[in-house]
Amino acid sequence: MSAELWAAALTALWTGILTSVSPCPLATNIAALTYISKHSGSHKLAVLAHGGLYALGRALAYIVIGFLLVKSLLSAPAFSFFMQKYGSQALSPVLVLAGMYMLDMFGRGFMGFNVFDLSKFKAKGGAASSLAMGAVFALAFCPISAALYFGVIIPLAAKNSAPVALPLLYGVGTALPVIGLAVALDFGLKKLSAITGLAAKFEGCARPATGWVFIAAGVYLGLRDIFNLI
């Protein structure tokens, strides 16, 4: 695997982790897992198992969306040729804009969108419902998850012709903190509160740092592949 693909893979995994600990997705995950914990029975590991299924549902949703979008784009000869020839040049401004968004340089007016009305979604208990809840909640894109998934992961997947691998790594990244929350629920809400506080602090430091890294990477690609200065 080339160094460029390794960098894309690490970016996808890290972006997924950062997405999951951002305020809106984190609040959604806590609400879902709290609901699951009340309908998982009394077995000690039930919450952890259902939390894992919820995380798997999220990951599968991202994989399906990424695969369909990237495959559709790459099946168009004009787009495929453009990405092969100008992929790095196109990715340069995308990374800069994504970094600027993560640093709140555009303000907070962007509200994101929802594919489903989550207020009407009710889980009925059972493994299938936890899996389905994860998939549905993944499709309810908050501003940060929409910007990072469609603005960073999809272009990276298209450029590297990786319609499964990069969305999969992004989904795995979003799942890791969710599983941590499930473990916290298994040990009690006090642990959950502590982990939530740590996640908020982590996101507060990691998000601006990642934003500047994205900007730096975008500027580097621009200087190298657009202006031929490096």
- Amino acid 61 reads A
In the chain, count of helices (H) and strands (E)?
9, 0
**Cα distances (angstroms) measured from residue 220 to each of 5, 88, 228:** 17, 10, 10
Q: Which two tokens stand for residue 126?
A: 């059972």
Q: Which two tokens stand for residue 11?
A: 């970016």
CA gap 230, 220 in Å, rounded: 8
Q: What percent of the chain has pLDDT over 90?
A: 32
8 A C-beta contact, residue 143 and residue 51: no
The DSSP secondary-structure symbol of 228 reads -
* pLDDT surpasses 90 at 164: yes
Confidence of residue 115 (pLDDT cuts 50, 70, 90): very low
Query: Mind listing the pLDDT tens digit for each residue in 148-161?
Result: 999 899 999 998 98
Residue that is written with structure tokens 């994205």 in the block: 214
What is the biggest distance separating any 2 CA atoms in the chain, rounded to whole angstroms?
63
Parse the chain into domains and list their residue ranges: 3-226
- CA angle 193–194–195, rounded 5-degree value: 95
CA gap 17, 200 in Å, rounded: 12
- CA angle 141–185–47, rounded 5-degree value: 85
* pLDDT surpasses 90 at 223: yes
| DSSP labels, 72-128 | HHHTSHHHHHHHHHHHHHHHHHHHHHHHHHHTTTT-S------SS-GGG----SSHH
| DSSP labels, 26-68 | HHHHHHHHHHHHHTS-S-TTHHHHHHHHHHHHHHHHHHHHHHH
Query: Mind listing the pLDDT tens digit for each residue in 24-75?
Result: 888 888 878 777 777 665 565 777 788 889 889 999 999 999 999 999 988 8
* pLDDT surpasses 50 at 139: yes
Buried b (16+ CB within 10 A) or exposed e, 165-186: bbbbbbbbbbbebbbbbbbbbb
